[in-house]
Structure 1
Amino acid sequence: MEKVEYRSVIKYLFLKHMSPAEIHQDMVTTFGEDAPSSATVKRWVAEFKRGRRSFAYEPRSGRPRTSTTDENIDLVLDMVMDDRRISTRVIAARAGISQERADHILTNEVKMSKILPNGSLVF
């Protein structure tokens, strides 16, 4: 069952004026080990008490993406095209981004994979 479906069950039982403990017990009886935790049920009951109507996660505020930009993707691709044996450590240092972001850009954005232990890349 999807998380959204569990939340709809929680809201339905909440609207029937069941307590969070009763809701959790009912869900454990029905879903077994797949039931959400007691803390999750309590959190969603509190959300519904505050008037929340949506079951989906709402967008969160936070730091905007700054490393995986089109400019950095192009820069990383250019570095790899100039030297296909370049390591993610060198790419990260030259681009001014973390090694994790450099690896993410290479594997997820540019669709390249590592083949050597030193991090050298190949198409």
Structure 2
Amino acid sequence: MASCPNFSELEQRTYTKFRTILEIPPKSIDDELSTICGEDILSYSTVRRWVSLFREGRTSVQDAPCPGAPKLATNNDKLSEVSEYSESFPHSSVEELANYVGISTGSAQTILNADLELRKVHMRWVPRCLTFPQKAARLQMTKEKH
């Protein structure tokens, strides 16, 4: 057979599926893929695993979806909710904020620190890096209080 360097992983799985239906052993399928595709092929253990899956009744050659919840905590809606809550309630804790928004405390902490660049100073959420005008305004407010 002619060499076929653009034989994708999905196409190799499909080939493996049809050869499994014909009851060809995994080693023979691996040898055939090696002949067809050269070095850019699935490993023998992967071919053997897919043959086993097809023999057990699997029909799809697509990867199964990975378990676990998708990462939704850092989407724009949650980010804006955290921002609004931290501005409205600057003395709130991470736990209170997380409970209000409906995300984990770790996600709330990540949004506060990494995305919004806020940190807790004297029981208040403040920007991590202040601009010169912000520093001047804070200095002025401090002088007015004393």
SS at match of 1:33: coil
1:44 paired with 2:50, answer yes
Displacement of 1:22 after TM fit? 0.9
Q: 2:110 aligns with which of 72, 81, 97?
A: 97
1:23 paired with 2:29, answer yes
Displacement of 1:29 after TM fit? 1.2
What amino acid is the match of 2:9?
K
Give the 5 Å matches for 1:1-123. 1-74=7-80, 95-97=108-110, 102=114
Displacement of 1:75 after TM fit? 6.1
SS at match of 2:46: helix
Displacement of 1:40 after TM fit? 0.9
Whole-Å Cα distance in 2 between the matches of residues 77 and 2 of structure 1?
Answer: 45
5+ long unaligned stretches in structure 2: 1-6, 85-105, 116-146
Displacement of 1:30 after TM fit? 1.1
Q: Is the 8 A contact 1:67 1:97 kept in 2?
A: no
- Residue in 2 aligned with 1:88? none
What amino acid is the match of 1:70?
N
Percent of paired sites with the same residue: 32
What amino acid is the match of 1:71?
D
Distance 1:69 1:42, change over 3 A: same
Whole-Å Cα distance in 2 between the matches of residues 68 and 9 of structure 1?
Answer: 40
Q: TM-score, normalised by structure 2?
A: 0.49
Cα shift readout 1:74-94 (whole Å, capped 9, x = no counterpart): 36888xxxxxxxxxxxxxx9x
RMSD: 3.1
Distance 1:67 1:9, change over 3 A: same
Displacement of 1:5 after TM fit? 0.8
Displacement of 1:19 after TM fit? 0.7
Whole-Å Cα distance in 1 between the matches of residues 79 and 36 of structure 2?
Answer: 48
Q: TM-score, normalised by structure 1?
A: 0.57
SS at match of 1:29: helix
